[in-house]
């Protein structure tokens, strides 16, 4: 019998989907042949109530995952020769989409694994159209705090739009994490993107969203397909928003899992970056990262070499259930002994 895979490579919520979302999916499976009509606006209305700070459904845009919302933003704003600025390492899609739209990539290195806002500011030119800030940053798990971010936004020229990718915002414990809806309400030129793939466990249904100023979001909406996401996906997302117990359980799994992993990695003598996200990244490894990933795969453990994020010297481990992490730690110990 083939041993079950331990999936700690893709930052999935291994508790699975919200039970309320699963119930809605089962009850509405006979609607798979139907295109959505108003479900996107219904979801946007529920999200606006949750976000607050004066964000209405008109400020929101729903996409086929947050990556799709980011695609729409790039498609709207980047013409050949325009500069797109982002830290390195960071989420790989910023680079891919800039290439597709023939923009010019401008990378700024991290400082002690943190995003250096002053260095980013110094790299802005009259050709800069977009700045991507992944917060918490993938693959380092580090955050930008509210006050430094707001000061950075105040110093930017008006022609620069900042996209704050908050895919992992729900897992942050730091009380100084940016109040991004407040930044939008205060008039800063930002779009915030989020996803239902992580906390809500709906990765396969592909539901994400963004919010920003009305005029900016209307322009981005012009690139959106009529049926960007399916009717059952919208319904499942709306149900997940009402499942507080699943949210709490997912957060507890992640926070407890991070602390457990720190403790066990210390015992193994491995260096890592403390994280505010759904993963922990190992650095200064005693063997080549690609070799560690390959050896782990032989034991049915999937972990992620971060070379795809332009961080070739590290390995990222997703936070899973306690039993997943215990197996992963045992396998790492076996490989490294």
> Which residues are CB-contacts of 227 (< 8 A; sequence separation ≥ 6)?
35, 36
Token pair recorded at residue 161:
């739009």
Looking up tokens 């999936």 gives: 7
**pLDDT of amino acid 222:** 86
Stretch 48-76: mean pLDDT, rounded? 93
CATH classification number, 6-15+244-336, choose in 3.30.465.10, 1.20.1440.130, 3.90.1150.10, 2.60.120.260: 3.90.1150.10
Sequence length of the chain is 337
**pLDDT of amino acid 2:** 55
**pLDDT of amino acid 1:** 41
Pairing type for strands 304-305 and 315-318 reads: antiparallel
Token pair recorded at residue 142:
């580090």
Q: Where in the chain is the domain with CATH 3.40.640.10?
A: 21-240
Q: What is the mean pLDDT of the chain?
A: 94
Q: What is the 3-state secondary structure (H, E, C) of 166-207?
A: CCCHHHCCCCCCCCHHHHHHCCCCEEEEEECCCCCCCHHHCC
Stretch 39-44: mean pLDDT, rounded? 90
Confidence of residue 36 (pLDDT cuts 50, 70, 90): confident
pLDDT in tens, 322-337: 999 999 999 999 999 8
pLDDT in tens, 281-300: 999 999 999 999 999 999 99
Write the DSSP symbol of residue 64: S
Residue 180, φ and ψ in degrees, nearest 5: -65, -35
pTM: 0.94
Residue 9 host element (H or E): none
Q: How far, in Å, are 43, 221, 316 from residue 83 at the CA level?
A: 33, 22, 29
Spatial distance between the Cα atoms of 27 and 224, rounded to a whole number of angstroms: 28
DSSP string computed for 101-128: TT-EEEEEE-BTTB--HHHHHHT--TTE
User: Does pLDDT of 225 surpass 80?
Assistant: no
**Contact (Cβ atoms closer than 8 angstroms) between residue 36 and residue 232:** no
Spatial distance between the Cα atoms of 243 and 237, rounded to a whole number of angstroms: 10
**CA nearest to 324, candidates 247, 273, 256, 257:** 257
**CA nearest to 42, candidates 229, 246, 250:** 229
**pLDDT of amino acid 34:** 85
**CA nearest to 268, candidates 291, 252, 284:** 284
pLDDT in tens, 2-16: 578 999 999 999 999
Domain made up of 21-240: CATH architecture: 3-Layer(aba) Sandwich (3.40)
Residue 63, φ and ψ in degrees, nearest 5: -135, 175
Q: Is 257 helix (H, G, I), strand (E, B) or coil?
A: helix
């Amino acid at each position: 019998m083939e041993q079950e895979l331990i999936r700690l490579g893709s930052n999935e919520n291994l508790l699975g989907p919200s039970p309320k979302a699963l119930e809605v999916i089962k009850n509405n499976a006979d609607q798979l042949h139907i295109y959505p009509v108003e479900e996107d606006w219904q979801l946007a209305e529920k999200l606006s109530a949750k976000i607050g700070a004066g964000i209405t459904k008109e400020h929101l845009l729903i996409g086929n995952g947050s990556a799709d919302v980011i695609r729409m933003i790039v498609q709207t704003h980047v013409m050949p020769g325009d500069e797109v600025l982002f830290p390195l390492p960071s989420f790989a899609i910023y680079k891919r989409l800039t290439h597709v739209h023939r923009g010019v990539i401008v990378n700024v290195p991290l400082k002690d694994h943190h995003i250096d806002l002053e260095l980013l500011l110094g790299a802005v030119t009259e050709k800069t159209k977009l700045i991507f800030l992944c917060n918490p940053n993938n693959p380092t798990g580090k955050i930008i705090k509210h006050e430094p971010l707001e000061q950075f936004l105040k110093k930017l020229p008006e022609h620069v739009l900042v996209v704050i990718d908050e895919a992992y915002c729900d897992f942050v414990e730091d009380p100084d994490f940016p109040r991004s809806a407040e930044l939008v309400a205060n008039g800063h030129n930002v779009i915030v993107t989020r996803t239902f793939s992580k906390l809500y466990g709906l990765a396969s249904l592909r539901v994400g969203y963004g919010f920003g100023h009305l005029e900016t979001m209307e322009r981005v909406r012009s690139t959106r397909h009529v049926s960007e996401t399916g009717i059952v996906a919208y319904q499942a997302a709306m149900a997940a928003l009402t499942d507080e117990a699943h949210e709490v359980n997912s957060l507890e799994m992640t926070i407890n899992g991070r602390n457990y992993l720190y403790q066990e990695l210390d015992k193994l003598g491995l260096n890592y970056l403390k994280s505010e996200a759904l993963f922990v990244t190992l650095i200064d490894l005693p063997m080549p990262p690609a070799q560690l990933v390959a050896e782990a795969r032989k034991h049915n453990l999937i972990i992620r070499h971060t070379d795809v994020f332009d961080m070739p010297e590290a390995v990222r481990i997703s936070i899973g259930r306690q039993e997943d992490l215990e197996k992963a730690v045992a396998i790492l110990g076996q490989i490294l002994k």
